Amino acid sequence: MSAHKKNWVFRSGISNPKYASDANHGTQSCTSCHGGTDGTGDRAAAHAGMAAIPGASTCAGCHAAAVALAAGSLHTTLKGYEPSLVSRGFDFGAGTESRARYDAQCTKCHVASGSGAALESACGHCHISVPDTAGGGLVAGHRMSRTPDMVSNCTACHGSRVKDEYFGLNNALYGRNRQYSASLAASDPFGGATLQPDVHRQGKMTCDACHPASEMHGQGVTAGIDRYGITGRTACRDCHAVSGSNSFHTAGHLQTMACQVCHSQPYKSCFSCHTQRTAAGTAFFSNNVTDPTRAARFPTIWPAWASGTTYAAGATVSYLGAAYRSLQAANTGNVPDAAGSVWWAPATGLAPGDALMTFRAGRNPKYGVLPGAPKFAVLRHVPVDQDTFTYTEQGTQVPGLIPNISALPTWKYATPHNIARVTPITRDPDGGGPLNACSNCHGANYEAFWLTDAIGDAHGWVPASSPFEVDANAGVLITAPLPFSVTP
């Protein structure tokens, strides 16, 4: 057998130490999990009915309770997205154009399986293999893991925000943001400081420390909610007893503010995520790394834009015989970042596809709606806008699929995974004593930390001509310093 053949496969199992060391599953035959027909030398007959990734129906034979619970989890149903879209007037009715576009676009990434049969493949994508949408492949041979691997499983899906924040991997993006946006660089209270991994990451904590199996399998989930509506979720004070020795841990602060207001570093906000499809019917998101336009706008990779030409927002570029629209104005200038890497520098000062690293707190849109939600919280801009499902270039153009975009704020309640014990909001901006930091919320310096302008605080990532942003976020803005006495 050639050198790369690491496993001997035979009727009673696999001679793989990683598989054999699994005391429960290692004693079973291949067909007990994968199906197919044992005892035949005919290839077609042997593989008939075989499942490459065993699904929940297989696991239920031994794990009935967990499988039954997981059938209603947000990981399985993916229902967390629907309440937000429905509230904005999106029609999920069977046979509607909006439903068809949601199914074609959103489930390309936000699924527990590559086939769309979420429940049937969910178990394996957490306990033995990397999720298909993250590349697939076994994590540790055929060994089943009771606890999913933080990197290969959890952050394989929850990577762009959670992983990058938790591991402290956003510094290059943060540097580009500050380089491209003069207003951000001038007003950033974090001053371009190096972003640190979350303190829990520094303490070697993995995801399951705060997100136990019961939550992941769906315990506490009720119909029509997002992840914040799960009852019994782990809270900061479950582990952190609050003492009276910290001058900021007053009853008023603790009753009205989420912990992240004082303990988060800059985090990602995203804007204008549009769905598109090519003439051949391939679906993609137009600010995703799979967007052909994104690659084309980097002239060192694809010389699609004419040298020396400045393009307005809405200009098109041809790629592989199809025309795609530029969502933001762009030119051919190249500006190296601090690390020497060359990135596209559009005329607007923005990097196409880049998220915005910022910090903004405001009125929590979940307050009064979600039991126990604090009145003030950190807010993150989400990528929805009125043209998200329009297909502006290829395919049938159907505007108005999200008819009431202003029904919910686009700056939404967030719980970033980038906790630090001390942040600039707890420091005096003028170098005085700790209590002088009160001006960061209750005085003249409040505008550096709080969402005061839904468009201006996006530092150019939101076009000035976006009236729906103003209407949608009117209820979460802080337009004056907070009074010292705030009713919980």
Query: Using one digit for the tens of pLDDT, what is the confidence trace for 339-380?
Result: 333 233 333 333 445 688 999 999 999 999 888 899 999 999
pLDDT digit string, tens, across residues 53-66: 777 888 888 889 98
Length of the chain in terms of residues written: 488
| Cβ contacts of 447 within 8 Å, gap of 6 or more | none
| φ, ψ (nearest 5 deg) of residue 419 | -70, 135
Structure confidence by residue, pLDDT tens digits, 381-399: 998 887 788 765 555 667 7
Check pLDDT > 70 for residue 324: no
How confident is the model over 105-147, as pLDDT tens digits?
777 666 655 444 445 557 888 888 888 777 788 888 888 888 9
Question: Has residue 475 got a pLDDT over 80?
Answer: yes
Q: How far apart are CA 434 and CA 422, in angstroms?
A: 11
Residue 40 has pLDDT above 60, yes or no: yes
Q: Identify residue 282 by its one-letter amino acid code.
A: T
- Burial class of residue 224 (count of CB atoms within 10 Å of its CB; 0-12, 13-18, 19+): exposed
180 by Cβ neighbours in 10 Å (0-12 / 13-18 / 19+) ranks as buried
Pick from 382, 176, 173, 351: which is nearest to 273 by CA? 382
Q: Is the pLDDT of residue 275 over 80?
A: no
Give 234's DSSP letter: -
Task: Return the closest-CA partner of residue 230 out of 336, 24, 74.
Answer: 74
Structure confidence at residue 200 as a pLDDT band (50, 70, 90): very high
pLDDT at 282 over 70: no
Contact (Cβ atoms closer than 8 angstroms) between residue 112 and residue 118: yes
Query: Coil, strand, or helix at residue 269?
Result: strand
Q: How many Å is the Cα radius of gyration of the chain?
A: 25
Q: Which residues contact 117 (CB under 8 A, 6 or more apart)?
A: 55
Lowest-pLDDT range, 13-17, 41-45, 177-181, 463-467? Answer: 13-17
Is residue 32 pLDDT above 80, yes or no?
Answer: yes
172-190: average pLDDT: 86
CA distance 106 to 114: 12
pTM of the shown model: 0.81
Whole-number pLDDT of residue 151 = 92
Q: Are 228 and 366 in contact (CB under 8 A)?
A: yes
| β-bridge mates for residue 361, sequence order | 378, 450
What is the pLDDT, as a whole number, of residue 295? 45
Looking at the predicted structure, is the pLDDT value of residue 296 above 70? no
**pLDDT value of position 208:** 94
Give the per-residue pLDDT at 244: 66
- Identify the residue with better confidence: 229 or 176: 229
3-state secondary structure of 131: coil
Q: Would you say 76 and 125 are in contact if contact means Cβ atoms under 8 Å apart?
A: no
The β-bridge partners of 358 are 267
Q: Is 286 helix (H, G, I), strand (E, B) or coil?
A: coil
pLDDT, position 11: 46
31 vs 450, higher pLDDT: 450
The tokens describing 41, both together, are 């030398």
* Average pLDDT value over all residues in the chain: 77
Q: Would you say residue 299 has pLDDT above 50?
A: no
Q: Which residues pair with 316 in a beta bridge?
A: 325
Tokens representing residue 156 in the block:
């394989």
At 35 the pLDDT is 86
Query: What are the helix and strand counts (H, E) for the chain?
Result: 20, 13
* Cα separations in angstroms, 43 against 10, 36, 37, 51, 246: 14, 10, 10, 15, 70
Predicted confidence (pLDDT) at residue 319 exceeds the cutoff of 50:
no
- Whole-number pLDDT of residue 326: 45
Each residue of 260-272: pLDDT tens digit?
999 999 999 988 7
pLDDT exceeds cutoff 50 at 337: no
Q: State the pLDDT at residue 196.
A: 97
pLDDT, position 206: 96
The answer to whether residues 138 and 145 touch, using CB atoms and an 8 Å cutoff, is: no
Nearest to 316, CA basis, from 341, 335, 343, 297? 297
pLDDT reading at 454 higher than 60: yes
Coil/strand/helix, residue 241: coil
